[in-house]
Structure 1
Amino acid sequence: MSKQLMSNDVLNSLQPDCDNCFGLCCVALPYAKSADFAFDKDGGTPCKNLQSNYRCSIHSNLRNKGFKGCTVFECFGAGQKISQVTYNGQDWRENPEIAKEMFDVFPLLQQLHEMLLYLNEALSIEETLPIYEELQHAIEETEQLTNLSPNEILGLDIPSHRARVNNLLLQTSEIVRAKIKRDKKQSSKLKKGIDLIGANVSGRDLRGSNFRGALLIATNFRKSDLRMSDFIGADLRDADLSGANLHGSIFLTQAQVNAAKGDKHTKLPPSLNIPLHWVK
């Protein structure tokens, strides 16, 4: 049985397509005035910057206008799936009776799509061949859940499903990181959930690190070797990745990269892009 790379169709379906979404992230979710948002907004209330065509009036200038939080949000393609498939093109403005339900479904489908992204990435890794069938089954099961009716989605036990998926992702992480031989003293300092807020680990060999759920806010990773590391759920806000090598790292999303700092010398996995604010 041979492994397959994640196809462009699969990858595209798990990335945001704002042209085919009814601005759900700009309406369904709440946020509080902070360094990430310029004002408070309740869940279910349209953002003041959302236009009648469901486009953001300040999309090209979000960071300068005080909406950095918007630039690091990732729906994993759930927005267009709900807009065009779950509700078959019915929008919440012209069909206000479905608005609340649509907004409640959005974060649930977002979680399922996030799981699909991670599962498909795991499936594309050559070394996960021993758990290929389990990964494939989990993908098929999760995809089926995303195609349920709104009422059925609202009734799902997402935490239980996530726990089953997470078991496969943990196995994937162990398989990938096992390829890196690192000394035990260094490994003991980089345990799951480690707090490295503001730490200076620049220039270090951190290959195969387990950063799952780690707080890496403003961590200095300049010129560090982060290959084959697991970044699932890591908080990379303002982490400095300038000149760092993240080739082969797993479960790293575009949203996490967007939240960090870096430069043209940062080496990312091929599925991710250098954010515009890194090169300005």
Structure 2
Amino acid sequence: MPEQISGRARLRGDCARCFGLCCVALPFTASADFAVSKPAGQPCRNLGGDHRCGIHTELRQRGFGGCTVYDCFGAGQQVSQVTFGGRDWRTGSREDARRMFDVFPVVRQLHELLWYLTEALGLPAARPVHAELRTLLETTEELTRRTPGELVALDVAAHRQTVNVLLLRTSELARAGVHGRKKDRRGADLMGARLRGADLRGASLRGAYLIAADLTGADLRDTDLIGADLRDADLTDADLTGALFLTQPQVDAARGGAGTRLPGSVTHPVHWAAAAL
């Protein structure tokens, strides 16, 4: 079975094989997440000549917490090493650099979709749609291998919608095995909500706004969390075992601790342990 179907290793950022694209291509605005503003295409002031962050171990302390919750899903090395064949934006032409910065966000979206599709294919309950999922995964994989010009012209939103329809069906199949009435809070405004100890098992929280919500001890097993905004949500002692489509950036943006139970596809953020000290 091809690696893109059987595993997720290539869908994890490998900064050693990237030219610091997320530190250059993307814009950010001075806020609680970023100490300064930067336009797209301009290198971050903390980016070194070796394409490494000069304050990587102090990002949160220096006001760049937004950087610690970003994940390119492996798009950085894909664009750097495959799409542009190892050409560095610093040494290539200005046109190459501009095109590379335009391509990076497109490939990042495609790689995020690959992450979701790969997870969906690993769900036994989604077997009825495995063939369709595999076809969409292979189509998405093919899109990532296109030329820079083709990638820039790609209607990613339309492709995302096609994938989303199947992911929604996958979610329904996976959550159907959870007994009892399942809450549907898709896109709900739950900012700051008091959900301590809430039974949300098998619920749909797709695209829900859970910013600063208190989910301490909540049961989020088998819950669909695709696109849910978990910034500063308290996941202390919450159980997210088997949570559907949960990504590392979502977990990194939340608060939690050693008692937070997570799916095997994500890990406990280092800053959770530091906050407990």
Structure 2: which amino acid aligns with 1:35? A
**What are the superposed Cα offsets for residues 90-137 of structure 1, whole Å, 9 maximum, x if unpaired?**
010000330000000000000000000000000000111111110000
C-alpha deviation, 1:37, in angstroms: 0.1
TM-score relative to the length of structure 1: 0.94
CA contact (8 A) 1:35 1:66 kept: yes
1:270/1:118 CA distance change after superposition, 3 Å? same
What is the match of residue 30 of structure 1? 27
Q: Distance in 2 between matches of 1:176 and 1:132?
A: 12
Deviation of 1:243 after TM superposition, in Å, equals: 0.3
Q: Give the Å deviation of 1:155.
A: 1.3
SS where residue 227 of structure 1 aligns? coil
Q: Distance in 2 between matches of 1:23 and 1:78?
A: 11
Map residues 179-198 of structure 1 onto 2, 5 A cutoff: 179-183=177-181, 187=183, 190-198=184-192
Matched, 1:48 2:60: no
Aligned mates of 1:129, 1:243 — CA distance in 2 = 32
Q: How does 1:197-276 map to 2 (within 5 A)?
A: 197-276=191-270
> After the TM superposition, which of the residue ranges 93-102 and 37-46 deviates more from structure 2?
93-102
* Count of matched residue pairs: 271
SS of 1:82's equivalent?
A: helix
Indicate the residue corresponding to 1:168 in structure 2: 166
Distance 2:4 2:51 in 1: 34
Q: Does 1:90 align with 2:87?
A: yes
Partners of 1:132 and 1:24 in 2: how far apart? Answer: 34
1:173 & 1:240 partners in 2: Cα distance? 24
Residue aligning to 1:130: 128
Using the alignment, how far apart are the partners of 1:197 and 1:74 within structure 2? Answer: 23
Q: Percent identity?
A: 52
CA-CA distance at 1:5 after TM superposition = 11
Q: Please name the residue that 2:153 is paired with.
A: 155
Moved more, 96-105 or 173-182: 173-182
> How far does the alpha carbon of each residue in 1:186-245 deviate from its partner, in whole angstroms, 9 at most, with x for none?
x2xx42101110111111211011111110000001011100001111110000000000
Kindly state the Cα deviation for residue 181 of structure 1 after the two structures are TM-superposed: 2.5
* Larger CA deviation: 159-168 vs 39-48: 159-168
CA deviations 1:47-90 (Å, max 9, x no partner) are 00000000000111111110010011111100000000000100
Structure 2 CA distance for aligned equivalents of residues 96 and 238 of structure 1: 41
Give the Cα separation in 2 of the matches to 1:86 and 1:112: 13
Q: What displacement does 1:183 show? A: 3.3
Structure 1 stretches of 4+ with a deviation exceeding 3 A read 4-7
String of CA shifts for 1:136-190, please: whole Å, max 9, x gaps.
0001000000000000111111111111101110001111111122337xx2xx4
Cα separation, 2, equivalents of 1:222 and 1:228 = 17
RMSD of aligned Cα (Å): 1.4
Q: 1-side partners of 2:210 and 2:219: how far apart?
A: 15
Counterparts of 1:59 and 1:126, CA distance in 2: 39
Q: C-alpha distance in 2, partners of 1:144/1:41?
A: 32
Which amino acid in 1 is paired with 2:71? E
**SS state at 2:29 partner:** coil
Q: Match of 2:70, as an amino acid?
A: F
Letter in 1 for 2:104: F
Which amino acid is 2:118 matched to? N
Secondary structure of 2:109's partner?
helix
Q: Distance in 2 between matches of 1:170 and 1:112?
A: 17
Task: Select 2:100's aligned residue among 99, 102, 118.
Answer: 102
Tell me the equivalent position of 2:10. 13
Name the TM-score, length of structure 2 as normaliser: 0.95
Alpha-carbon contact 2:5-2:137 (below 8 Å) kept: no
Give SS of 1:113's match.
Answer: helix
